[in-house]
Chains A and B, each alone.
Chain A
Amino acid sequence: MLILRESSYIYVRNLKTWLAQPTMIVAAVFSSAVMYLFFGEPLRGITGLPGFPASDYQAFLTAMVIVMAVVFSGSDMAMVLLTDIMSGYVDKLLLSPVNRFSILLGTLAIGATRAIAQVVAIVLVATAIGVRFEGGIVGILAVIVATTLLGIAMGCVGLIIAVRTRSVQVTVNSWLLFMPLAFLTSAFMPRDLITGWFQFAVGLNPIEYILVAVRTIIIDGWIWEHIVPGFWVLLGTSAVLVAAATYEYRRATN
């Protein structure tokens, strides 16, 4: 399993690079705390609307905080990768006899690690402010697994952006691309209560289904009819994005 060993070297290097930039980690954790502060407390009255599915708005928001953090991490990943391309470090790796896919795996694995770290941090913050996870411990684990996969998928989007454009300008602003993915969702308000074009757009956004599944596990527990579509969408999206990233990566390194 040479490829796994090689990937682990690249992974450890990427992990050290990430840990060497504490601001990035602090930002990832704090942004979630700020989300609760900005939206949780002031908007809690929304729960009084007829048909609102949760009594605790903080709990309702938790899924949004998690999914949004992971979606936007795709943009971070793009920047991290672009830095390595621009500095010539990627060339240095390509000059070595390691398998091309070890480099790809080591890179995507860091997307997964970041997602796990963020979700765990958010779950801790949520628990601290009194959010109850109806899905229990298994539910929390399921949410972590799901968002890890989402983290890998978003890492793939980041990789495609960095490898395709090789432009700092585009990459720095790539969060604009992730914004509709994150906001054209029922993040703040259940889909039934949204109207017009927005409701239509939300229905087209794959992230919405993942968000609903995660939220269901948090606020309602195991209601399968709300969870299963998200599961399939997550699986399908990840498969497509991993394939696309592999293709792009292959094209760029051959």
Chain B
Amino acid sequence: MQHPPAVAVRGLEKTYPGGTRAIDGIDFTVEQGEFFGFLGPNGAGKTTTIKILATLLPKSAGRVEVAGIDIDRDARGVRASIGVALQEVGLDDLSKGRDFLVLQGRLYGVGRAEANRRADELLELVGLSGVGKRKIGSYSGGMRRRIDLAGALMHEPGILFLDEPTSGLDPQSRLAIWEHLEQLNAQGVTVMLTTQHMDEADRLCRRLAIIDHGRLVTEGSPSALKAGVGGDVVRVSFGHMESPDGRTDAALGALRQLPAVREADTTPDGLTATVDDGGTAAPAILRALNDVEVPVANLAVTRPSLDDVFLHHTGREIREADADEDAESRVWGQWMGVNRR
């Protein structure tokens, strides 16, 4: 039996009233059971996309199917099949954690007894069992994200949309959320999240789309994206030599003979080589240098990061891209998301 993709987006565009073009024609597909990431700086169009997929925001053009349902045809059907946790958390501070969960379940048509059972189960899962009877207003930032995530899971959705699920959290809370998400994905839940954190995308997502200025820049698995940027870099610094004249040239020549080495160059204290795979190239490099009797003091392999991927495709670092963004206009942009006039 052929399953429809969890998300299928074709030619999606969004222009806000006032002319801001938040999404400029994007296509992507998320298969069922995937862990898919939308990576980009603030203001790239990530939140707008998630809000459109979740039926909270109308699109300007394009076609979107979620869980095999056209969002224009049956928005309620889409809403019933997905769980959503947005960046502006939208919690009810005066409500107790457990009451919030039960209500979430009820709103999605879960029966009373089942909603109560699920609430306890999920409080346990996200490590909030002890504070279920406390008002959400008294929760810390990490606890709020966790109760929100639990709320999105009350009706056991097959697809989960998360907008920056860990932004602003301390490392421990981030790790806890990551573990919950990995566990859910292992149980078959399709997860699509947005993030501006490279480490998060790298750890969680099996496939990534990089978005910048409302356009998809590139798409693929984190390792394929990194491999596309270029190979690993091996840096060698030489040890003490009695008569160093000509030795550097000999070493460079030896390295350039190696099939694993794509490029090699000298540095003030040694050599640098670009290779496909640092793990297998490093021993060969050491052997070649030994053969020409060049002592090695230090050898380091650096792999390209997703930062390099972003830099490679956009010409900017993601942090710089963030700095470009006017924080105020972003907040209002999101606000206008609900306030569609």
Interface residues of A (CB under 8 A from B): 6, 9, 13, 16-17, 20-21, 84-85, 87-98, 166, 252, 254
Residues from chain A with a CB closer than 8 A to the CB of B215 are none
Q: Given that A9-B103, A91-B338 are known contacts, is A97 also in contact with B91, CB under 8 Å in the complex?
A: no
Could you tell me if B99 and A16 are in contact, using CB atoms closer than 8 angstroms?
Answer: yes
Most buried by B among A21, A91, A254: A91
The answer to whether A95 and B80 have CB atoms under 8 Å apart is no
Q: Which 5 A-B pairs have the closest CB atoms?
A: A88-B90, A92-B90, A97-B80, A96-B107, A97-B79
Cβ A87 vs Cβ B90 within 8 A: yes
A80 CB → nearest B CB, Å: 10
With A17-B92, A89-B92, A92-B90: A9-B106 Cβ-Cβ less than 8 Å: yes
CA distance A74 to B88 in the complex (A): 27
Cα separation A166 to B92 with both chains bound (whole Å)? 18
8 Å CB contacts to A: which residues of B51-70?
A: 54-56, 58
0/1 interface trace, chain B 100-121, chain A, CB 8 Å (1 if under) = 0001101111000000000000
Residues of A within 8 A of B335 (CB): 166
Candidates A16, A17, A91; contact of B90 at CB < 8 Å? A91
CA distance A252 to B340 in the complex (A): 7
Chain B neighbourhood of A96, CB < 8 A: 79, 104, 107-108
Q: B135 interface residue, CB < 8 Å from A?
A: yes
Q: Is the CB of B88 within 8 A of A20?
A: no
**Across the two chains, which residue of chain A brings its CB closest to B94?**
A20
A21 to B95, CA, bound (A): 11
Is B94 in contact with A21, judged by CB distance below 8 angstroms? yes
> Which chain B positions have C-beta within 8 A of A85?
338
- Complex Cα gap A13–B89 (Å): 18
Interchain nearest-CB distance for B318 vs A (Å)? 26
Q: How many residues of B contact A (CB 8 A)?
A: 30
Given contacts A16-B99, A96-B108, 16 further A-B contacts (CB under 8 A): A9-B106, A17-B94, A21-B94, A85-B338, A89-B90, A89-B91, A89-B92, A91-B88, A91-B90, A91-B338, A92-B92, A95-B55, A96-B79, A97-B76, A166-B339, A254-B58
A92: chain B residues within 8 A (beta carbon): 90-92, 151
In the complex, 20 of the A-B residue pairs with CB atoms within 8 angstroms, ordered by the A residue number, are A6-B107, A9-B103, A13-B103, A17-B92, A20-B135, A85-B338, A87-B90, A88-B88, A88-B89, A88-B90, A89-B91, A90-B90, A91-B88, A91-B90, A95-B55, A95-B79, A96-B107, A97-B79, A97-B80, A98-B107
Q: Determine the chain A residues whose CB is within 8 A of the CB of B103 once the complex forms.
A: 9, 13
Taken together as a complex, chains A and B put the C-alpha atoms of A98 and B76 apart, in Å, by: 8
Report how far A20 CA is from B135 CA in the complex, Å: 10
A21 to B93, CA, bound (A): 12
User: Which residues of chain B are within 8 angstroms of A254 by Cβ–Cβ distance?
Assistant: 58
The reply to whether A91 and B56 form a contact with Cβ atoms under 8 Å apart is: yes
Closest to B54 in A: A95
Cβ–Cβ < 8 Å partners of A93 in chain B: 107
What's the nearest-Cβ distance from chain A to residue B162, in Å?
13
**With an 8 A cutoff between CB atoms, is B225 at the interface?**
no
The reply to whether B95 and A17 form a contact with Cβ atoms under 8 Å apart is yes
Question: What residues of chain B lie closer than 8 Å to A166, measured between beta carbons?
Answer: 335, 339
Instruction: Identify which of B90, B95, B135, B338 gathers the most chain A CB atoms within 10 Å of its CB.
Output: B90
**Residue among A17, A92, A166 with the most chain B CB within 10 A?**
A92
**A163 to nearest B CB, angstroms?**
9
Q: Tell me if B92 and A90 are in contact (CB < 8 A).
A: no
Query: 8 Å CB contacts to A: which residues of B117-175?
Result: 135, 151
- The CA of A234 and the CA of B89, in the complex, are separated in Å by 40
Tell me the bound Cα distance from A96 to B94 in angstroms: 20
- Does B39 sit within 8 A of A, measured CB to CB? no
* B107 engages A94 (CB within 8 Å): no
In whole angstroms, what is the CA distance A84 to B89 when docked?
Answer: 12
- The residues of B that contact A95 with a CB separation of less than 8 Å are 54-56, 79, 84, 86
CB distance from B56 to the nearest CB of A (A): 6
Q: Is the CB of B76 within 8 A of A16?
A: no
How far, in angstroms, from A97 to B82 measured CA to CA in the complex? 10
